[in-house]
């Protein structure tokens, strides 16, 4: 029996779960720590495996890929859902998929959002690069203070509400907008509901906290970036395609958008020659949102339990019970 662990390029899977329990049962384990170059590459490398342990939606598994994995018998998915996994295709192949606990993914993502807000406001990444290169102050050192400025949150769910509280603690005025947000719900989170247009035009920092869907794809496009307050900071820790990447690049180059602090991208990993990497007014992180040892312990220990239960003939937390019917 062969197991492939897709380790999300973080190299934490083997550290946080006792995979020797499977080795003692004769399971051969291979860890993939790098992104697949293409669907063909994924199909070729994963074809020999009976079991896959997936890191949420980081590697898409559409029907076309699933049908090219002849040995596949079971999948363990870290987290509770993945929009890029075709469950119907798994069921058609009689491949059960078990998930795990979610862990506390809200806290690390919200904390990273605030880290990016602080780094962008103080232009910290540029200062850090200069220090490593042997330089000292360059231009206006220290950037902008947050106290007294306006924080605009696009999305005020569990993540957005946490960031709203951080903003209040820093003495910021917090406004928010989403398609279904009510004044009462905004007030509960310590924010004031405004229109999307007003949020863009008046906020010093715009931070996105929405799930990617057909309604939110391209939500912040050229028209929205034309409206944004000149010199504003845009923060995205949700999903890259919520923002029109080409329009964002144009706004950054023109100076209309003062700074972008990003953890998510249209294509991940971000290509080495991507133009975002060469702009000074950009702070980048490699999709670290929920990545923490605490969360990965929940993910991979749960995945190990899922695999053991399936090997015992009594799978748990099955997302598609029809696959075993």
Active site residue 287: yes
DSSP summary character for residue 284: E
Vertex 308: Cα angle to 306 and 310 (nearest 5): 70
Alpha-carbon gap, residue 77 to 74, rounded angstroms: 10
Which of 58-67, 204-213, 293-302 tops mean pLDDT?
A: 204-213
| Residues, the chain | 325
Q: Measured in Å, how far apart are the chain's first and last C-alpha atoms?
A: 23
Residue 141 has pLDDT above 60, yes or no: no
Catalytic residue among 239, 259, 305, 317: 239
How much is the pTM?
0.88
For residue 130, count CB atoms less than 10 angstroms from its CB and return exposed for 0-12, middle for 13-18, buried for 19 or more.
Answer: middle
pLDDT of residue 80: 86
166-201 pLDDT, tens per residue?
999 999 999 999 999 999 999 999 999 999 999 999
Residue 140: pLDDT band by 50, 70, 90 thresholds? Answer: low
Residue 63 has pLDDT above 90, yes or no: yes
Alpha-carbon gap, residue 176 to 51, rounded angstroms: 43
Please give the structure tokens belonging to residue 104.
Answer: 């506390």
pLDDT of residue 186: 98
Mean pLDDT over residues 279-295, rounded? 91
Per-residue burial over 73-109, b if 16 or more Cβ lie within 10 Å, else e, is ebbbbbbeebeebbbebbbeeebbbbbbbbbebbbbb
Residue 259 has pLDDT above 80, yes or no: yes
A 10 A CB-CB count for 214 gives 6
Catalytic residue among 57, 268, 297, 308: 268
pLDDT of residue 9: 65
User: What's the distance, CA 98 to chain centroid?
Assistant: 21
27-62 pLDDT, tens per residue?
999 999 888 989 999 999 999 999 999 987 778 899
φ, ψ of residue 305 in degrees (nearest 5) = -60, -40
Active site residue 215: no
Residue 279 has pLDDT above 70, yes or no: yes
Mean pLDDT over residues 222-229, rounded? 98
Q: Which residues contact 84 (CB under 8 A, 6 or more apart)?
A: 57, 59, 60, 61, 62
Mean pLDDT, rounded, of the chain: 94
Q: Which residues contact 316 (CB under 8 A, 6 or more apart)?
A: 98, 305, 306, 309
Residue 121 has pLDDT above 60, yes or no: yes
Active site residue 137: no
Half-sphere exposure of 111 (CA within 13 A, CB side): 9
Residue 310 has pLDDT above 60, yes or no: yes
Asked, as a colleague might, if the bond just before 269 is cis with ω within 30 of 0, I would say: yes
Distances (CA, A) of 253 to 80, 151, 282: 39, 23, 10
Please give the structure tokens belonging to residue 261.
Answer: 């602090």
Vertex 219: Cα angle to 218 and 225 (nearest 5): 95
pLDDT of residue 105: 85
Catalytic residue among 149, 162, 287, 317: 287
Return the SS3 of 251: helix
């Amino acid at each position: 029996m062969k197991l492939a662990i897709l380790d999300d390029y973080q190299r934490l899977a083997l550290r946080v779960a006792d995979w020797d329990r499977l080795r003692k049962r004769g399971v051969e384990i291979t860890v993939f720590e790098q992104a697949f170059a293409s669907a063909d590459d994924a199909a070729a490398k994963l074809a020999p495996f009976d079991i896959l342990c997936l890191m949420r939606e980081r590697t898409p598994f559409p029907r076309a890929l699933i049908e090219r994995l002849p040995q596949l018998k079971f999948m363990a998915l870290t987290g509770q859902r993945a929009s890029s996994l075709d469950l119907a295709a798994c069921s058609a192949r009689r491949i059960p998929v078990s998930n795990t606990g979610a862990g506390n993914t809200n806290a690390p993502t919200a904390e990273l959002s605030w880290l990016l807000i602080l780094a962008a406001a103080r232009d910290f990444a540029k200062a850090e690069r200069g220090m490593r290169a042997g330089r000292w102050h360059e231009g206006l050192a220290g950037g902008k203070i947050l106290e007294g400025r306006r924080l605009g949150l696009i999305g005020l769910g569990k993540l957005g509400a946490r960031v709203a509280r951080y903003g209040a603690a820093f003495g910021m005025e917090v406004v928010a907008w989403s398609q279904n947000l009510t004044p009462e719900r905004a007030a509960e989170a310590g924010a004031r509901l405004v229109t999307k247009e007003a949020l863009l035009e008046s906020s010093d920092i715009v931070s996105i906290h929405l799930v990617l869907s057909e309604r939110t794809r391209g939500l912040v496009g050229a028209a929205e970036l034309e409206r944004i307050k000149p010199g504003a900071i845009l923060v995205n820790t949700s999903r890259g395609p919520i923002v029109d990447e080409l329009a964002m690049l144009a706004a950054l180059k023109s100076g209309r958008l003062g700074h972008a602090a990003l953890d998510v991208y249209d294509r991940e990993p971000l290509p080495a020659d991507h133009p975002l990497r060469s702009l000074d007014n950009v702070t980048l992180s490699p999709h670290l949102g929920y990545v923490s040892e605490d969360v990965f312990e929940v993910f991979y220990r749960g995945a190990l339990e899922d695999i053991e239960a399936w090997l015992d003939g009594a799978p748990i937390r099955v997302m598609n019970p029809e696959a075993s019917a």
